[in-house]
């Protein structure tokens, strides 16, 4: 529908595509890249803060933002004009998020693929745990299951392709890796990722209302907290809003 090239006026390169007659998708780049994600989240924040009448929902993804709207209240032409205005001066560091520390247990009884991941990566199981747990992860997007956060980027030596044969089901809380991403699966589900641990924290909260614990732009730090993972009331810590991980 609309394509814009970057130019000295400060308008970044982007394009807008129709997604049916009640949604527009603003693409800001290609691939999985924190710089692209930062622009997506900054645009999401700007649009949400404007409180446009007729905007129903904003949905940030790895490289784009989909805006659902009511065309009887907000015509597409008007929404496009607002989007172009919001794109001027858009900066990667504008978005804010929370920083979380969640317990994860990497015990072999829960880490179904830990030995295989170690063999594939040329590391010892303890080294896999050390490398995976030593990263502060950026939440790129939510999707697939309620509350499921796609986080990156895993260390290069752990960036493996998906399993050749997916499992028919894995239990809730399973921590897994595939390509450059890592996830904690909030519900029982079929899965082709490599399971290397489990977290007791519910990423899909039902009280006081259904909502996801994590949000795009949050920082997520894994720690090898084996003792806390076994406690009946695991610690979940969140700081005040902070910038997304660099």
| CATH number of the domain where residue 13 is located | 3.30.1360.40
The answer on 122 and 156 residing in a single domain is yes
Last residue of a domain, one of 29, 61, 94: 94
Return d(Cα 114, Cα 176) in angstroms, integer: 10
Q: In which element (H, E) is residue 126 found? A: helix 125-133
Model pTM score: 0.77
CATH code, 142: 2.40.100.10
Q: What are phi and psi of 65, to 5 degrees?
A: -125, 125
The answer on 199 and 177 residing in a single domain is yes
The answer on 102 and 89 residing in a single domain is no
How buried is 5 (Cβ within 10 angstroms: 0-12 exposed, 13-18 middle, 19+ buried)?
A: exposed
Domain count, the chain: 2
The answer on 60 and 127 residing in a single domain is no
The answer on 127 and 74 residing in a single domain is no
Do 67 and 82 meet the contact criterion of CB atoms below 8 Å apart? Answer: no
Last residue of a domain, one of 60, 78, 94: 94
State residue 198's pLDDT score: 95
State residue 13's pLDDT score: 85
The answer on 227 and 107 residing in a single domain is yes
Do 207 and 88 meet the contact criterion of CB atoms below 8 Å apart? Answer: no
Last residue of a domain, one of 52, 69, 94: 94
Tokens read off for 29: 């780049």
pLDDT per position in the chain (246 positions), as tens?
Answer: 454 444 445 667 889 999 999 999 999 998 898 889 989 999 999 999 999 999 999 999 999 999 999 999 999 999 999 999 999 878 766 555 788 888 999 999 999 999 999 999 999 999 999 999 998 999 999 988 888 999 999 999 999 999 999 999 999 999 999 999 999 999 999 999 999 999 998 888 777 777 888 888 887 764 434 334 444 344 555 554 433 332
Considering just the CA atoms, what is the radius of gyration of the chain in Å?
A: 20
Q: Taken in order 223, 37, 173, 112, is the CA torsion positive or negative?
A: negative
The answer on 187 and 165 residing in a single domain is yes
Tokens read off for 157: 């030596």
The answer on 153 and 46 residing in a single domain is no
Tokens read off for 168: 């028919």
State residue 10's pLDDT score: 60
> Can you list the positions of beta strands (E) in the chain?
2-4, 14-18, 23-27, 55-60, 64-69, 96-97, 99-104, 136-142, 149-152, 167-170, 174-178, 181-185, 189-191, 194-198, 204-205, 211-212, 219-224, 237-238, 242-243
Do 165 and 144 meet the contact criterion of CB atoms below 8 Å apart? Answer: no
State which residues form the domain around 84: 2-94
Q: In which element (H, E) is residue 133 found? A: helix 125-133
68 three-class SS: strand
The answer on 235 and 142 residing in a single domain is yes
State residue 78's pLDDT score: 95
State residue 91's pLDDT score: 72
The answer on 102 and 90 residing in a single domain is no
The answer on 89 and 101 residing in a single domain is no
Q: What are phi and psi of 110, to 5 degrees?
A: -110, -20
The answer on 199 and 113 residing in a single domain is yes
């Amino acid at each position: 529908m609309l394509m814009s090239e970057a130019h000295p006026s400060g308008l970044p390169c982007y394009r807008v595509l129709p997604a049916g007659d009640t949604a527009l998708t603003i693409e800001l780049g290609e691939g999985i890249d924190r710089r692209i994600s930062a622009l997506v989240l900054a645009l999401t924040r700007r649009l949400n803060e404007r409180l446009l009448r007729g905007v129903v929902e904003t949905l940030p993804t790895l490289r784009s933002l989909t805006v659902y709207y009511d065309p009887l209240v907000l015509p597409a032409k008007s929404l496009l004009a607002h989007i172009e205005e919001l794109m001027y001066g858009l900066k990667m560091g504008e978005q804010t998020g929370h920083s979380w520390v969640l317990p994860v247990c990497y015990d072999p009884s829960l880490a179904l693929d830990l030995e295989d991941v170690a063999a594939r990566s040329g590391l010892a199981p303890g080294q896999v745990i050390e490398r995976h747990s030593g990263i502060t992860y950026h939440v790129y997007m939510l999707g697939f299951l309620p509350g499921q956060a796609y986080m990156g980027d895993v260390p290069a030596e752990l960036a493996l392709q998906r399993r050749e044969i997916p499992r028919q089901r894995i239990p809730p809380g399973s921590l897994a890796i595939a390509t450059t991403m890592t996830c904690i699966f909030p519900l029982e589900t079929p899965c082709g990722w490599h399971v290397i641990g489990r977290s007791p924290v519910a990423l899909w909260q039902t009280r006081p209302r259904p909502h996801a614990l994590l949000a795009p732009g949050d920082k997520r730090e894994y720690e090898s907290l084996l003792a806390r993972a076994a406690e009946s009331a695991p610690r979940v810590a969140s700081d005040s809003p902070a910038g997304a991980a660099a």
